[in-house]
Amino acid sequence: MPALTHLNRKGEAAMVDVSAKPPVLREAVAEGRILLQPATLDLIRSNQVKKGDVLSIARIAGIQAAKQTQYLIPLCHQIPLSKVQLDFELRSKAVHITATAITVAPTGVEMEALTAVSVAALTIYDMCKAADKKMRIEGVKLVSKTKGTSAT
């Protein structure tokens, strides 16, 4: 089993030192879904949810959350985000959420993509909670992460 990178020699939580690593183009894709009742999905499709345009607000919330990941995840590095994109697919029983995050940095961007999906799902939950008491968020996971060549 590989060693945990966020522990120091004493076994205490510690931020990983990435100062010797060059900035590299990195991309991460995460996904998740929120299960909703068919009537709630119809409200979203027809933009009839009383709180407003659910998917537009969830998109902005996901982007904003990705930009704040360093404050939400204690040992996460502050990285410059080049792009965060959220896509929504309305399915028969769920809204499927995909987030893509891109950076040029010495460390990965997967936490930002995962945070974007999670907060977008939570935003949908918040906006629809008056209409649907059976919503469930599930399947939040990293789909892929890639690393390009050095930017220096």
Q: What distance in Å separates the CA atoms of residue 130 and residue 31, rounded to the nearest whole number? A: 25
Kindly state the tokens that stand for 6.
């966020």
Query: At which residue do the structure tokens 């502050």 appear?
Result: 78
Q: What distance in Å separates the CA atoms of residue 57 and residue 138, rounded to the nearest whole number? A: 20
Asked if 126 is an active-site residue, the reply is: yes
Sequence-distant (≥ 6) Cβ neighbours of residue 144 within 8 angstroms = 27, 28, 29
Catalytic-role residue among 42, 53, 87, 126: 126
CB-based burial, 69-104: b 16+ in 10 Å, e otherwise:
beeeeeebbebebeebbbebeeeeebbebbbbbbbb
Q: Which residues are catalytic?
A: 126
